[in-house]
Structure 1
Amino acid sequence: MSEDRTVRVVLVDDHRMFRTGVRAELGAPVEVVGEADDAPSAVELVARLAPDVVLLDVHLPGGGGVAVLRALVPKLPATRFLALSVSDAPEDVISVIRAGARGYVTKSITGAELTDAVVRVGDDDVVFSPRLAGFVLDAFAAGGTAESGPVEGADEDLDRLTAREREVLRLIARGYAYKEIGKQLFISVKTVETHVSAVLRKLQLSNRHELSRWAADRRLV
């Protein structure tokens, strides 16, 4: 990429405050040319703008990041997709890479690091947060391909949970307090409590300890 080229980016995330923060943190030569907050609007906007890079959350209303990738990757060969998510779960990372994303970074990334990742993906490089690269390589070395479909070991119980409930489950299992989870996911403590109650009900568990053990047994932590 030439030094004077601007990387045109569409930002897709269902949290307005997070999108505002990303805009403020991204530096030159990145320009955010559009925003979307769910999968259907992302498909429409990206198809219309054909940006250089799409910063894409994994868990979105209306189908999730994988749905966006499946709809757009075949139609926009010049657009690159970089997943940006609070989740560092292997199944989330591998699913979006299989669907066509060029990289995956977590929301703990700094503004300078994210700017660098966007530029690199715009140059057709592949970018991962350091701890994520290993299991992606392991998954594909074991025979996984972009056409392999869902990650092996799909769990019917886990499938009952919404994307947001899975995020809350993983953070609970890692020992986060409700207030910390709310801060991570940009939701209120009351909303966190509601999601935890729903998870316990759907999984037929009684308390947070059982939930943590359930997640650990499935290597979701």
Structure 2
Amino acid sequence: MTAIAEILSRELDSRTRMILAAEVLFAREGIDGVSLRRIAASSGQKNHHAVQYHFGSRDGLVQAIFDYRMQQMDARRLEMIALAEQEQRLEHPRTIAEVIFLPQLALIDKFGDHSYANFLCQYLLRNSDAEYGRFGGNLPDGLRRTLNLLRQKLSFLSDSAAQRRLITACFMFLNLLAVYSRDLESGRATEDFENALEDTMRQIVAALFLPPTGG
């Protein structure tokens, strides 16, 4: 059994173990750099065709990782939305950005890394659409609602421009997570994470909500 398979919880079903093993391998070696057979073996599957059985194809597995993580984060997003509504700050630009991005902080793999950040960077390059809010799958309620709020705030932009800003902001946040994990592992991390996070969130808000030229 591989090291990845050994650390995956036995309580998880076969499908989820493959999703989590694939996320780590894709993050480390690229979505097209790992064989489906290796993913099956890394998740403890004896059937070399287990990925095809559960997901149909590599693209099906990639989409399953995205959907799994999006659904996993949605409970936290819904909590944040409810609290923001109570405090009457749901439509504030900073609140919208926090609801979109901060739940990703909790997505740490069994090695203590933000593998999902590296995976999602690759996913967005493969699957993002010019149509606002389209990312290749069905978005859960909390994220969909927050993206709708963002779109209302960006009504001065076309759909494609609003989508471009959103994807750019995603890369800014994911870069923070990926680089910090890398530097922490190598011992090169010199910046306090909370300071880096605050600086990145301020950059994201500025980039997302920048008024049009002459505005």
Classify the TM-score, shorter chain: under 0.3
Q: Give the number of the structure whose residues are more often helix, by fraction.
A: 2
Q: TM-score, normalised by structure 2?
A: 0.26
